[in-house]
A and B are shown apart, each in its own frame.
Chain A
Amino acid sequence: QVQLQESGPGLVKPSETLSLTCTVSGGSISSYYWSWIRQPPGKGLEWIGYIYSSGSTNYNPSLKSRVTMSVDRSKNQISLNMRSVTAADTAVYYCARDFGSGSYFDYWGQGTVVTVSS
Chain B
Amino acid sequence: GAGVSQSPRYKVAKRGQDVALRCDPISGHVSLFWYQQALGQGPEFLTYFQNEAQLDKSGLPSDRFFAERPEGSVSTLKIQRTQQEDSAVYLCASSSRQGLSGNTIYFGEGSWLTVV
Verify that A and B bind, or say they do not. no
